[in-house]
A and B are shown apart, each in its own frame.
Chain A
Amino acid sequence: MGNYLAKRLLLIIPTLLGVAAVVFVIMRVIPGDVALLILGGDQAGHIDKAQLAAMHHQLGLDQPLLTQFGVWLWGVAHFDFGTSLWTGRPVIEELVGRLPLSLELAILATIVSVLLAIPFGVLAAARRDTWIDYLIRVVSIGGLAIPSFWVGILIILLLVIYFGWGPPLEYTPPWIDPWANFQQMVWPVVTVGYRYAAVTTRMTRSTLLEVLGDDYIRTAWAKGLRERAVVVRHALRNAMLPVITLIGTEFAFFFGGPVVTETVFTLNGVGRFVVDAVAHRDYPVVQALVFLIAFGFVIVNLVIDLTYAWLDPRIRYR
C-alpha cells in the first residue's frame, strides 16, 4: 500500500507541472496585450511606445518566457501566486474573496443532487424498462440537455415579469444573513443542482444495473433474499464507488465554476472571474486558478484511487 501511495504521489508532480506549462503557453499565445489594455482602457486612448514599454517592464512581461515561468513556479512553491496584472492586488486575495460563494454553491448543489440522484437512480435501476424508469431517465436527460444558462435566464425573467422580484445583488454569507443568502443562492443552486443531479442519477442507474447483472447478485436472488436486501445492501454498496468518483470529480470541477450560471445570476464567483481574466489577458489569475483546479482534481482522483486500492487489493499489485 505504501508503495502504491508513493508511486501515485510521484506521478502527480509531472502532471501538475504539465498543467502549469500548458496554461502558461496558452495564455501567452492568445493575441492581445494586457499592457495595452491596461493603458488604453476600454476605448481608444492615447498611448505612446515609451509608456507601453514601461508598463511591460513593470509587469515583468519583457523577460524571456522561461524566466517568467520559472519565477512563477518558484512563487507557487511558496504559495505566492503573484499579483493580478489587471487589479494590482495579490491573486490569492482576489481568489479568497470569491471562494466562499463558489464553495457554497458547490456544496449546496452537491447535497441537492445527491439527495435526489441516489434514490431516483436506485428506483430507475430496480424498475428497469418500466414507465418509472423511463420517466426518470427522460427527466434526467432533460437536466443534461437543457442549457443551464437558458434555464437561468428564464427563471430570472419569470420572477421579474410576474412577481417584480429580483435576487439580491451581493453575496452575504449564510451565517450573517441566512434569508438574504437563501434568496440569492436558491435559484442558482436549483439550476446547477438539477444538472448535477441528472448526471449522477444516470451514473447511479447504470452502475447499479451493471452490478445487478453480476454473479454474486444472482446468488443473492437464488438465496431468496428480498429485493430491498439485494439491491440496497449488496448491489448498491458496490455500485457506489464509481458514483462517488463522479461526485468527487464534478465537485472538483466546480472551481472552474459554473461560468455561465454565474454570469446569468450575477454571482461574484470564481468562474466568472476566470472568464474575465482571460478576457483581460490577466495571466497570473488564469494560471493560478487553472492550476488550483487541476490540483484539486488531481487530489480528488488520488483519494479515490487510494480508496479503490484499499478496497480492492488486486489493484495494488499491478
Chain B
Amino acid sequence: MAVHYPLVHTATAPLAPPITWGDEISNFIRRKPLGAAGALIISVMLFVALFAPRLAPYDPYTPDYGAQFQRPSAAHWFGTDEFGRDVLSRIMYGARIALFVGFVASFVGCTLGALLGVVSAYAGGKVDLCLERLMDILLAFPLLILALAIASILGPAVQNVVVAISIPIIPRAARVVRASALSVKENRYVEAAGSLGASGRRVVLQHIVPNVMAPYIIIVTAQLGSAILTEAALSYLGLGTAEPTPSWGLMLSGSASAYAEKAPWIALFPGMAISLAVFGFNLFGDSLRDALDPRLRRKG
C-alpha cells in the first residue's frame, strides 16, 4: 500500500527574496561609497570615450580662425583654443587617447609582468634568480626617465607612448604577482596537491592563478591611473602624442600657460580631465582592493 506523505514542495518553501542587480548595486554604494563614485566616474568617461564621435559637437581637428580664444558659451561649452578648436570636443576625443593608453599599457604591462612573476615563482632556482635580477634592473630606473628614453627612441605617437609606458610597468607587476605566487606555492595545500600527483600545469592553473588574480586586478587598476599621468607628462614634455592630436597632456603643454590669462579654460579643462580620470580609477581601485584583500575584509 503506497503511503502518501505530505510533500513539502521545496519550490514553495519560503525562500529569501532573490537578490536583484539593483540590490547589489545599492549594497555596493552603501558599503563602499567612494568606490561607487569611482565606478561612476569611470563609466562616464568610458561612455564619452566610446561615443565621442557622436557626442562631440565639433571636429576636434578643424581650426576655426574666426573663433579663436572664445570664452565658454552656449556655442562652445568649454570655449575654444588658440586655433579656434572647440575645447569640449577635444577633451572628449582626448578621453579616447587617455583611456586607450591607460588600459592597453596597464593590461599589457601587468599581464606580461604577471606571467613573468608566475613563471619566476613557480620555476624557482636559477630561472627565478635571473628573472628577479632583470626585474630589479628595470625597476631601478625611475619610471618617467625610462619611459622618456623609450619614447625618444620610438618617436612621438600614441602607439609608441603605450609601449614606452608599459615597459616600466612590467617589473612592478612581476614583483607583486611573484610575491603572491610564492606564498601560494609554499602553502601546504598546494604541496599536498603536488604530492598527490597533480601536474605542474594543473597546479599553476588551478591553484596559483586564482590566488594571484586578486593582486593582479589590484595592480592593473593601480597602474591605470599612473599610466594616464605618465602619458600626460610625456605629452607635456613633447615626447608623447603630437599635434594636432587632442591628448590632454599635449593640451597642457607650454602654450597653455602662455594663454592662461587670456583664455584660462585652455589650461583648466585638460588638467581637470586628467585629475578626474586618475581620481576615478584610484577610488575604484582602492575599494576593489579593500574588497579583495582577505586581511582587510574582517571589519567591512
Contacts and interface: CB of A to CB of B under 8 A. Distances in A.
- Any A–B CB pair closer than 8 Å: yes
Contacts of A134: 33-34
A157 B133 contact: no
B153 A26 contact: yes
Nearest to A198: B282
Contacts of A27: 149
Given A129-B300, A260-B233, A153 B267 contact: yes
A120 B277 CA distance: 24
Given A141-B286, A259-B233, A294-B137, 19 more contacts: A19-B137, A137-B286, A138-B34, A141-B279, A145-B277, A145-B279, A146-B278, A147-B229, A153-B257, A153-B260, A157-B257, A202-B286, A206-B296, A213-B298, A259-B148, A260-B236, A278-B145, A278-B149, A297-B140
Contacts of B256: 153
A14 B283 contact: no
Contacts of B139: 297
Contact of A260 (B134, B237, B267): B237
Most A CB contacts (10 A, CB to CB) among B252, B257, B277 go to B257
B155 to A, nearest CB: 8
Interface string A133-152: 01001100110111101100
- Chief secondary structure at chain B's binding surface: helix
A247 interface: no
Interface in A155-211: 156-157, 161, 202, 206, 209-210
Given A278-B148, A278-B149, A18 B133 contact: yes
A142 B271 CA distance: 12
B295 A210 contact: yes
Interface bracket on A: 35 or more
A18 B134 CA distance: 8
Contacts of A256: 141-142, 144-145
Contacts of B140: 15, 19, 293-294, 297-298
B252 A157 contact: no
B68 interface: no
Contact of B149 (A18, A30, A154): A30
A306 interface: no
Nearest to A22: B137
B142 A278 contact: no
A129 B299 CA distance: 10
Interface string B246-282: 0001001000110011000001000100111111001
Closest 3 CB pairs of A and B: A256-B142, A294-B140, A145-B278
B283 A141 contact: yes
B152 interface: yes
15 contacts: A11-B133, A19-B140, A22-B141, A141-B279, A141-B283, A145-B282, A153-B256, A154-B267, A202-B286, A214-B295, A259-B145, A278-B145, A286-B149, A294-B140, A294-B141
A202 B261 CA distance: 36
A268 interface: no
A253 B142 contact: yes
A144 to B, nearest CB: 6
Given A210-B296, A256-B145, A144 B282 contact: yes
B274 A14 contact: no
B59 interface: no
- Chief secondary structure at chain A's binding surface: helix
Most A CB contacts (10 A, CB to CB) among B152, B237, B279 go to B152
Interface string A250-290: 00010010011001000000000011001100000010001
A260 B233 CA distance: 7
Nearest to A274: B145
B247 to A, nearest CB: 13
B79 interface: no
A213 B295 contact: yes
Given A145-B275, A278-B149, A293 B142 contact: yes
Contacts of A263: 237
A22 B267 CA distance: 37
A161 B259 CA distance: 12
A245 to B, nearest CB: 13
A157 B271 contact: no
B160 to A, nearest CB: 13
Contacts of B181: none
